[in-house]
Amino acid sequence: MTRIDSILKFYESEGADVKKRLADILNHGALGGSGKLIISAVDQGFEHGPSRSFAQNDGAYDPFYHFNLAIEGGLSAFAAPLGMLESGAETFKGKIPTILKINSCNALYGKEPDQAITASVEDAVRLGCHGIGFTLYPGSDHNLKLINEFREVAHQAKKAGLVVVAWSYPRGSSISKDGETSLDVISYGAHMACLLGAHIVKVKVPTDHLFLKADTQAIKNHKIPHTSLKDRIRYVVKCCFEGRRIVIFSGGTAKNTDDLMEETKDIRDGQGFGSIVGRNFFQRERQEALYVIQKMVALYKED
């Protein structure tokens, strides 16, 4: 049995179309067949605005730049909002699996974290996408609404044979800034996404901070290792059904190459399934970005 076959067996309830598209993603690109993924996600123009996102690299204003970078870099898939995928739908058809980001927010919205539905499952089918992506905000006052929306969208996507990817980002007035990336909160959000039926869960890299009193006590009482990033990655994977769901980790804000490689090693050694990266690719000049991608691929292949 191949590594991909063993991963697909984790998804016992899914039909042949979902499993085929999940297998397509797992078998695509430079990491194809390894069980590891590197996905390019370019929704930052929506979330943060084009100036903050793209001014560092003039080419990044062009959607084709992102398609080409993902394809030339041999990435597993390319995730983006509706307009960006529509812009290259014909030119890049069949060249890389795509994931339609189906809800979004923006930096001009200053209230409790929320997301608007910005595309549909029908759009994903029309564009030939392999999956849909959806952001959840555990901890927000709008969390229950987002869960209800996710339930409906995930149901439609699975009926259409699409892979469901959950961006699970705990945040809101009840969670401190440090708490958003604390191990207990990240692992809680990841587990919620699995319980809601996500096939792939995207979370931020957890820090050694602990936020919730009861969870902190449980982690300490049961001596769960968490001082190293490798141990924290392993615990998040454990919380995703003991590794029976694919969990990948956000590249986060821009960082230098050495720090990004150290983080990649820890994700690998903690048995994470890979990375989903935006700014740490497209805010670099193209050749440097390709070099960074190659280094990440090489590290994940060492597993």
- The residue ranges of every structural domain in the chain are 3-301
pLDDT in tens, 133-178: 999 999 999 999 999 999 999 999 999 999 999 999 999 999 999 9
Question: Is the entire prediction scored with pTM above 0.95?
Answer: yes
Q: What is the DSSP string of 32-86?
A: TTTT-EEEEE--HHHHT-HHHHHTTSGGGGSHHHHHHHHHHTT-SEEEE-HHHHH
Q: Token pair for residue 217? A: 């006590």
pLDDT in tens, 87-107: 999 999 999 999 999 999 998
Closest CA to 211 of 257, 238, 180: 180
Given a cut of 70, the residues of the chain with pLDDT beneath it are none
What is the C-alpha to C-alpha distance for residues 164 and 54, in angstroms, rounded to an integer?
A: 27
Output the CA torsion sign for 91, 24, 102, 60: negative
Cα Rg of the chain, angstroms = 18
What is the C-alpha to C-alpha distance for residues 115 and 108, in angstroms, rounded to an integer?
A: 12
Cα–chain-centroid distance for residue 163? 12
What is the C-alpha to C-alpha distance for residues 270 and 128, in angstroms, rounded to an integer?
A: 33
Contact assessment for residue 64 and residue 88, using Cβ atoms and an 8 Å cutoff: yes
Residue 253 has a pLDDT of 85
Q: Hey, what CATH topology would domain 3-301 get?
A: TIM Barrel (3.20.20)
Q: Token pair for residue 115? A: 């997301």
* Residues in contact with 218: Cβ distance below 8 Å, sequence separation at least 6, in sequence order: 224
